[in-house]
Structures are given as structure tokens and as C-alpha cells.
């Protein structure tokens, strides 16, 4: 058996590099890259100077005016705007725009920057729906240019959209991970000791570096190195971010790492695609009307009750929802017309006002909290609390890189040549780094949701992979564990009322799935992995075929 295991590992290693990438960091800097909290803030670049910007909203329609809020050490700047789709199209350019340095509140991550508008421009009537990348450039103190990048969305006009796909950008998750100014929903400079994550985050601030643009080859979260057993985990994406001045969270969220790859693939494949933000889903749910197919992709973790209402109603009345995304986890609330997002997360039961006389169903806790009464599976068929980590840290670091397929006869796999037991997307690593699953059982060699899983009636499990909520390896010292068991204990407390060892044992083994089910007059397909888009980025023919099968069916082409 030992010889067989060694042989298997040797074969596995031939497909991947066996050395961690070297970004020129010392061992202590590598540890800082993972363990310390670092972020972008005004003045960080010193005498070289800097320029930052944000828009007053995430999205606009043709003909509307965009207010650009700029703070710059240089007195003038130029602007270029490019539509970022199947091809890059320049739509606007202007030089010689006046700018000035604007003071920023210490708690801008929570309160917003409060900068005055520096420049306004009108969205052209002929600008098609999509993502528009803004680049500002000015002169730096060392004679070299300084730049910043921003992104806004041009939303579709109302009306019927036969044959068109609507992609909904995961702006709730972008906002949760944006650390510009010091705080997000993960780490922060809030609280009495300035060491707490922010329960409230503002839209009125720049995106952190790496959310809008990335160089080709920037590491993704799942480990792309063959690591022998007992190897202490490394996190190349965070090491690269530390070494290059990008956000620590660039690979966890944002247009550049996730949403862009589906949008570009779809347009290059000949699909007509429109783009909207989740904020529109919340405030203008009728934006879904007229579309036969609505798509959600990438890391899509944070949703409001109203966003779910919009999708549920759309599917029930005959719409088709395709979710190529993972980690459907947290309920949020929007305040101040959508300019602030609230999520108490792990501290919800102790701190969220919804538990003290408010509407507890709107508590910003995990969707699986019994008091909320709306598990994620009721909308998309899967839950984050039964899935989560795969392919990084001490969570299945040498596990499958693709989805193990159980029902190859399903229409989604037509034309792929895939068989029972094959791995879908292993070459392009579509499985990870966070996945969604269900409690399930195997009968006759096929997976079925358990009676208590919360799965919608008629749900079919097409593929299942393994995941974990706990780094439990005795070979990884506690000081080297990034994930530990914190998430597992939170899930245990959420589902079973107590974070005991016995309850932890019930939840620490997770899974990721591909599922399909009908609801009302409509249908849902869910490939529950953040990294599905990696298969499109890396042009994995089998992943592309499944994606097209889903789109074609939902657009009525097959």
C-alpha cells in the first residue's frame, strides 16, 4: 500500500510544479503576508505621490451622469474609460482635469471618504451594458506616472431581452472584501483597540488594488503546487500581493479575479450579455424581467433578503438561474440608499440589533441560522455551511481539482464525453477554493440529498467533491494554521446551538456539488465552486462545453 501511495503521489506531482513560487520575500515577510493586516490608505506612497478615485454609485444607465470623486497629489490628471468585455473598447478619454488632495476620515471604510466630486461625465447613449474600467493617470513626485483604477457598470435599459443573458456582478462580496482605508468584513481598524473587522462598510471609497485589473499570471487562491505530505501550507496569492503592493484580498473577490472571466468568455463565445450589480437586484428587482437566463459567477458570498426575493420570484414565474459560483453564506442589510452594507457575521447573535427587538429574520448571520428560517439551499439548492474549503491551507490540499461526476447522462454534460467517476475541470482547477454543498447519502452508487438537507424537491446531484471546514492535520502546527477550526465551530454553533467538539465533528467534513432542479415554472443550475471561472480563463474545453450547454438550454437554443 505504501508503494502504491508513493506512486500515486509521484504521478500527481508530474502535473504540477513541486516548488513554491519565489517572490523575493524573506521567511518573516512571507509570514507577514499571511498573518498581518495590511491595506491601502491615502498617503501610503509618500513622496512618490498617488491618485485615488471612486464613483457615487456602482452602476448607471445610458444617458446618466457619473460623479467621479478624486483625491490626488498631482494638480491635474487624465482619464481613460474602456469597456472590458470580449474585446476592449475605448469609449472616453480626456486630459488636463483639475484635481486636489482631499482629507480622508480615519474610519472611511465605515463612513465613506466624503470627498467632493472632482469631475462629471455623461454615459453615452450608445454605450452597451457591461463593465467600464476607469484609469486615472497623473504625474508622480519622482517623474514617473501615478495611476489608479476604478470600475462602474452600465446597466441594461428596461424591456424584453430575447436571447440575451443577464450577468449579476457580486458587488456585495466585492464590498465585503474591499480593505481600502483599513477595514472590511474580515479584518480592520475598528473597535476600541483598532483591531476589529467592520460590521458596516461603505461604498464611498476606492477599490483596493487588484480588484479592477491584474497582471496575467497573478496567483489564484487554490494551490497550484504539488505539496508532499507534512508540508507546512503556503499561500502564494498573499505572498505575491505583499510583494507587489496589491490587496491581500485581491484573489478573494473583485471583477479582475472572478466576474470578468465569465463576461469575457460569454461575449467571445457569441452570447449577448448584459451586466447589472447586486444592488440593482435589491432596489430594482424588475431588472430581471425580460431575460430568459440570469447568471451569477465566482465568489458570491453576501446577499440581502431582497436580492433573494428577486431571484426566487424570477425563477418561480419561469426564469432560469445559472449559478457558477460558490460560498452562498451571509445575509446582509443595506442602509443609506445602498451606500452602506451591514454584516455582523460571527458577532451577529451578540451584537446585531435584529436580535434585540428587531426582525430576527433579517439578522446578518449565516443563512442557515435557524432563527432566520431561510437556508441558502431554498434559492440555489446548496449551502456554504455544508461546503466551504478545498485546495488550500490544510483543507484538502492534495484533493481533487475538479468535480467528480456521478450522473454523466444529464443534459449539462452532453457533448463532453465524460463518464461516471470522471473529474470535470481537473486540469483547470475549477474545484475550490470555497464550495457549496448539501448533506447527502449514497444509494446504489449515486448521491441523494438527505431528508433533512433542506434541498428543494426534485433536486438532482450531478457531481460531488470533498471539502473541509477545519484544518485538523496533526502535521501542521497551530502557529502555521491560517484557517484553524474557527469556521467549523461557528457552523456547529449555528446549526446545533453549541460549538462543542461533538458538534464540530458533525460539520467539519464538507462537500461541493453541481446540482439542478426545477421550481415553479423555472429552473436552477448550480455549479457550487468559486473557481468555475478558472476553467473559462484557462480555456478548459469540457468546462466551456458544460457552460454553453446551460446557457443554450436556458436561452431556448436547445
Domains (range + CATH), the chain: 48-154 (2.60.40.1930), 165-178+250-329+366-555 (3.40.50.880)
Q: For residue 548, how far is the Cα from the chain centroid?
A: 21
pLDDT band of 2, cuts 50, 70, 90? very low
Start-to-end Cα distance in the chain: 48
pLDDT value at residue 227: 83
User: According to the model, what pLDDT value does residue 477 have?
Assistant: 77
Q: Residue 484 contacts by C-beta under 8 Å, 6 or more apart in sequence? A: 470, 471, 478
**Residue 222, pLDDT above cutoff 70:** yes
- Quote the CA–CA distance of 550 and 554 in Å, as a whole number: 6
**All cell numbers assigned to 494:** 449555528
Residue 409's φ and ψ, nearest 5 degrees, are -75, -5
pLDDT tier at 478, thresholds 50, 70, 90: confident
Instruction: Enumerate the β-bridge partners of residue 443.
Output: 446
pLDDT recorded at residue 9: 35
Q: Looking at the predicted structure, is the pLDDT value of residue 233 above 90? A: no
Burial of 359 (0-12, 13-18, 19+ CB in 10 A): exposed
What percent of the chain stands above pLDDT 70?
A: 97
What is the mean predicted confidence (pLDDT) over 272-281? 98
The confidence score (pLDDT) of residue 430 equals: 98
pLDDT in the model for residue 10: 35
Q: Which three cell numbers stand for residue 243?
A: 510583494
Query: pTM (2 decimals)?
Result: 0.95
- Lowest average pLDDT, out of 12-16, 59-63, 378-382, goes to 12-16
Q: Does residue 6 register a pLDDT over 90?
A: no
Closest by alpha carbon to 434, among 283, 258, 285, 280?
A: 258
Distant-in-sequence, close-in-space partners of 364: CB < 8 Å, separation ≥ 6: 199, 330, 331, 332, 333, 342, 343, 344, 345, 348, 352, 354
For the segment 454-467, what is each residue's pLDDT rounded down to a tens digit?
999 999 999 999 99
- Return the closest-CA partner of residue 246 out of 221, 211, 216, 222: 211
Check whether 394 has a pLDDT greater than 90.
no
Q: Read out DSSP for 18-58?
A: SS----S--HHHHHHHHHS-----TTTTGGG--EEEEESSS
What pLDDT does residue 11 have?
36
Measured CA to CA, the distance from residue 392 to residue 361 in angstroms comes to 33
Residues 25-48, mean pLDDT to the nearest whole number: 96
User: Taking 70 as the threshold, does the pLDDT of residue 1 lie above it?
Assistant: no
Task: List, for residues 340-381, the tens digit of each pLDDT value.
Answer: 999 999 999 999 999 999 899 999 999 999 999 999 999 999
The enclosing H or E element of 90 equals: strand 88-98
Q: Taking Cα atoms as reference points, which of 385, 93, 40, 334 lies closest to residue 206?
A: 40
Spatial CA neighbour of 360 closest among 342, 372, 351, 343: 372
Which pairing describes strands 320-326 and 293-299: parallel, antiparallel, or unpaired? parallel
- Please name every residue paired with 340 in a beta bridge, in sequence order, or none if there are none: 202, 335
Contact 35, 42 (CB under 8 A): no
Return the number of other C-beta atoms located less than 10 Å from residue 505's C-beta. Answer: 12
pLDDT of 400 reads 93
pLDDT at site 484: 81
What DSSP element (H or E) covers 311?
helix 305-316
Model confidence at 472, in pLDDT bands (50, 70, 90)? confident
Q: Mean pLDDT, to the nearest integer, of 79-103?
A: 98
Outline where 193-245 has alpha helix (H).
Answer: 236-244
Whole-number pLDDT of residue 468 = 95
For residue 232, name the pLDDT band (cuts at 50, 70, 90): confident
pLDDT, tens digit, for every residue of 107-164? 999 999 999 999 999 999 999 999 999 999 999 999 999 999 999 999 999 889 999 9
CA 191, 358, 299, 285 torsion: positive or negative?
Answer: negative
CB 391 within 8 A of CB 432: yes
What integer best gives the mean pLDDT of the chain? 95
Read off the pLDDT band of 251 (50, 70, 90): very high
Amino acid at each position: 500500500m505504501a508503494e502504491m501511495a508513493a506512486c500515486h503521489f509521484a504521478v500527481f506531482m508530474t502535473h504540477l510544479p513541486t516548488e513554491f513560487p519565489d517572490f523575493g520575500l524573506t521567511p518573516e515577510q512571507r509570514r507577514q503576508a499571511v498573518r498581518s493586516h495590511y491595506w491601502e490608505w491615502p498617503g501610503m506612497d509618500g513622496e512618490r505621490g498617488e491618485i485615488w478615485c471612486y464613483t457615487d454609485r456602482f452602476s448607471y444607465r445610458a444617458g446618466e451622469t457619473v460623479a467621479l470623486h478624486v483625491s490626488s497629489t498631482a494638480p491635474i490628471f487624465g482619464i481613460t474609460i474602456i469597456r472590458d468585455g470580449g474585446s476592449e473598447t475605448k469609449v472616453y478619454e480626456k486630459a488636463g482635469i483639475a484635481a486636489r488632495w482631499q482629507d480622508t476620515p480615519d474610519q472611511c471604510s465605515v463612513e465613506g471618504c466624503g470627498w467632493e466630486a472632482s469631475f462629471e461625465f455623461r454615459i453615452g447613449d450608445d454605450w452597451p451594458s457591461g463593465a467600464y474600467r476607469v484609469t486615472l493617470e497623473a504625474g508622480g513626485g519622482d517623474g514617473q506616472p501615478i495611476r489608479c483604477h476604478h470600475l462602474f457598470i452600465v446597466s441594461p435599459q428596461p424591456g424584453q431581452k430575447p436571447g440575451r443573458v443577464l450577468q449579476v456582478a457580486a458587488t456585495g462580496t466585492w464590498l465585503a472584501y474591499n480593505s481600502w482605508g483599513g477595514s472590511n468584513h474580515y479584518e480592520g481598524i475598528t473597535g476600541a483597540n483598532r483591531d476589529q473587522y467592520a460590521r458596516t462598510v461603505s461604498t464611498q471609497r476606492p477599490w483596493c488594488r487588484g480588484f479592477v485589473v491584474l497582471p496575467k499570471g497573478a496567483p489564484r487562491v487554490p494551490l497550484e503546487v504539488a505539496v508532499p505530505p507534512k508540508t507546512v501550507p503556503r499561500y502564494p496569492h498573499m505572498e505575491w500581493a505583499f510583494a507587489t503592493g496589491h490587496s491581500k484580498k485581491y484573489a478573494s473577490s473583485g471583477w479582475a479575479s472572478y466576474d470578468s472571466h465569465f463576461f469575457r468568455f460569454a461575449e467571445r463565445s457569441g452570447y449577448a450579455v448584459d451586466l447589472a450589480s447586486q444592488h440593482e437586484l435589491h432596489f430594482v428587482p424588475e431588472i430581471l424581467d425580460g431575460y430568459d437566463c440570469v447568471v451569477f459567477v465566482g465568489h458570491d458570498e453576501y446577499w440581502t433578503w431582497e436580492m433573494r426575493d428577486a431571484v426566487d420570484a424570477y425563477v418561480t414565474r419561469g426564469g432560469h438561474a445559472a449559478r457558477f459560483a460558490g460560498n452562498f453564506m451571509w445575509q446582509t442589510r443595506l442602509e443609506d440608499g445602498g451606500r452602506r452594507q451591514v454584516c455582523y457575521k460571527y458577532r451577529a447573535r451578540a451584537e446585531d440589533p435584529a436580535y434585540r427587538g428587531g426582525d430576527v429574520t433579517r439578522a446578518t448571520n449565516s443563512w442557515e441560522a435557524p432563527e432566520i428560517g431561510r437556508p441558502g439551499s431554498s434559492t440555489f439548492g446548496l449551502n456554504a455551511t455544508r461546503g466551504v474549503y478545498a485546495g488550500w491551507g490544510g483543507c484538502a490540499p492534495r484533493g481533487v481539482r475538479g468535480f467528480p461526476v456521478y450522473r454523466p447522462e444529464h443534459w449539462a454534460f452532453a457533448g463532453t464525453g465524460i463518464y461516471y467517476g470522471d473529474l470535470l475541470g481537473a486540469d483547470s482547477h475549477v474545484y475550490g477554493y470555497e464550495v457549496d454543498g448539501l448533506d447527502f447519502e449514497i444509494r446504489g452508487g449515486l448521491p441523494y440529498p438527505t431528508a433533512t438537507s433542506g434541498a428543494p424537491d426534485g433536486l438532482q446531484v450531478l457531481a460531488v467533491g470533498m471539502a473541509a471546514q477545519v484544518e485538523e492535520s496533526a502535521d501542521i502546527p497551530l502557529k502555521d494554521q491560517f484557517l484553524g477550526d474557527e469556521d467549523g465551530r461557528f457552523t456547529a454553533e449555528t446549526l446545533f446551538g453549541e460549538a462543542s467538539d461533538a458538534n464540530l465533528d458533525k460539520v467539519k467534513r464538507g462537500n461541493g456539488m453541481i446540482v439542478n432542479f426545477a421550481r415553479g415554472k423555472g429552473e436552477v443550475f448550480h455549479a457550487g465552486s468559486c473557481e468555475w471561472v478558472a476553467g473559462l480563463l484557462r480555456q478548459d474545453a469540457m468546462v466551456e462545453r458544460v457552460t454553453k450547454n446551460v446557457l443554450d438550454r436556458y436561452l431556448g437554443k436547445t
